């Protein structure tokens, strides 16, 4: 769900953005780049770490811990 939310938030179309109220449109346009980068690291780190838990891979714990610290 986080990955889907990330893609919807990052790649919102101009038509969908224009359909939003002015306050929300301004909010979307005011996000700095570093918040999108942190969002991406947290979402994809969690997704990869969760897949590692399911597949019982060894590198999953540091990845999930790093994601939790954000």
Q: Where are the domains of the chain?
A: 2-69
Judged against a pLDDT cut of 70, whether residue 60 lies above it is answered with no
Distances (CA, A) of 58 to 8, 19, 68: 31, 46, 18
Contact 63, 30 (CB under 8 A): no
53 versus 17: the higher-pLDDT residue is 17
**Banded model confidence at residue 58, pLDDT cuts 50, 70, 90:** low
The structure's pTM equals 0.68
Question: Which tens digit of pLDDT belongs to each residue from 4-44?
Answer: 999 988 888 999 999 999 999 998 889 899 999 999 988 99
């Amino acid at each position: 769900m986080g990955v889907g939310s990330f893609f919807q938030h990052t790649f919102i179309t101009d038509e969908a953005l224009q359909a939003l109220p002015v306050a929300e449109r301004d909010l979307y346009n005011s996000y700095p780049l570093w918040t999108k980068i942190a969002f991406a690291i947290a979402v994809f780190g969690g997704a990869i770490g969760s897949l590692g838990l399911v597949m019982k891979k060894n590198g999953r714990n540091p990845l999930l811990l790093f994601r939790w610290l954000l």
